[in-house]
Amino acid sequence: MRKLEDTYRHKGLRKKLIDTIREKGISEENVLDAIMNIPRHFFLDTALDNIAYEDKAFPIAEGQTISQPYTVAYQTQLLQVHQYEKILEIGTGSAYQSCVLAELGAQVFTIERQKKLYEHTKNFGYIKKYNSIKYFYGDGFEGLPTYAPFDKILITAAAPVVPPILLAQLKPGGMMVLPLDAGDKQRMLRITKNEDGSFNEEAFTNFSFVPMLKGKN
Ligand code: SAH
C-alpha cells in the first residue's frame, strides 16, 4: 500500500496555497484552517504529488475531478458552516470537500452516483479518521429522505435545475449552495429557506463543474 507522508515541503506548499486563495477573496479563517489541515496530496495520484497544491482541479478515478481548492473554499464559505450542523453533500468524488466540512465540525452525509468511485473513496484509509462523514451510493437528485431535514445542502456538480426534492429536505432557516447550469459555465447560487417556507436566492460568480447527472452508474 502507498505510504502517506505529509512532509514539511507539503505543509509549506499548503501555506502558499492558503495565501493564494486568501488573495482571491476567501476570508473566513476557519475555512482557511480546514484547508491547511488537510493533506490534499493524499487524495491524488502520486504522479501529481508535486503539483497537488496548485490551485487547480485534478482528475481522480472514473473520469471525475477533485475540485479546485478555491472553489471548495468558496462554496464552503458561502455555506456558513457551524459545528454539529447536519450537511448533505451531493457528489462525494474524492471526499476532499467532505473532509473540509468535517474539519469545520459538521456531520456530513455525502452521496455519490458512481458505484466504483463510491467504493474507491469509501475504502481510502486516510478519511476513516473523520467518523462524522457518512457515505451513500445513490442519486443526489433524490437526497436522503431517511436523514432529512438538513441544516445545509451543498451540490458539488453542475445542477441543470434547483432540485425540488432537495429544497424540501432543507430545514427552515437552512441554506443550499449549488452551481446552476447556464451553458458551459455555472452561476453559484445560495438559496435560503425562510421560517415560513419561502426561499431567498442570491447569485454569485461563475464557475465550471462536471455535470450533475440523473440516476446511478
Ligand atoms: N466534492 C468532490 C468533487 C467531485 S466532482 C471532491 O471534493 O472531490 C462531482 C461529483 O459529483 C462526481 O464524482 C460525480 O460522479 C458526482 N455526481 C454527479 N451527479 C451526481 C448525482 N446526481 N448524485 C450524486 N453524485 C453525483
Residue 2: band (very low, low, confident or very high) from pLDDT cuts 50, 70, 90: low
Residue 53: band (very low, low, confident or very high) from pLDDT cuts 50, 70, 90: very high
- In the sheet that holds 107-112, the strands lie side by side as 133-137, 107-112, 86-90, 150-155, 170-182, 185-193, 199-207
Would you kindly state where each structural domain of the chain is located, as residue ranges?
8-207
pLDDT tens, residue by residue, 131-152: 999 999 999 999 999 999 999 9
Provide the grid cell at 68. 479546485
How much distance in Å is there from the Cα of 130 to the middle of ligand 1? 19
Q: Does domain 8-207 have CATH number 3.20.20.140?
A: no
Q: pTM of the predicted model, to two decimals?
A: 0.97
Residue 1 pLDDT greater than 60, yes or no? no
pLDDT tens, residue by residue, 73-91: 999 999 999 999 999 999 9
> Cα-atom radius of gyration of the chain, to the nearest Å?
16
Beta bridge partner(s), residue 175: 152, 192
pLDDT tens, residue by residue, 91-103: 999 999 999 999 9
Would you state the torsion angle of the CA atoms of residues 170, 174, 178, 182, taken in this order, to the nearest 10 degrees? 90
> Are the CB atoms for 204 and 187 separated by under 8 Å?
yes
List own/partner pairs for 81-86 with CB under 8 A and 24 or more apart: 81/30, 81/105, 81/106, 81/152, 82/106, 82/151, 85/151, 85/152, 86/147, 86/149, 86/150, 86/151, 86/152
> Are the CB atoms for 193 and 174 separated by under 8 Å?
yes
Across 169-179, average pLDDT: 98
Residues with CB under 6 A from ligand 1: 64-67, 90-91, 93-94, 96-97, 111-114, 117, 139-141, 156-157, 210, 212-213
Tell whether omega for the bond before 149 is within 30 degrees of 0, i.e. cis. yes
- What is d(CA 55, CA 68) in angstroms, rounded to the nearest whole number? 6
Across 32-59, average pLDDT: 94
Closest residue to atom 18 of ligand 1, CA basis: 212
Closest residue to atom 17 of ligand 1, CA basis: 91
Residue 4: band (very low, low, confident or very high) from pLDDT cuts 50, 70, 90: confident
> Are the CB atoms for 71 and 57 separated by under 8 Å?
yes
Q: Which of 88, 92, 144 to mutate to test the pocket of ligand 1 (most atoms within 8 A of CB)?
A: 92
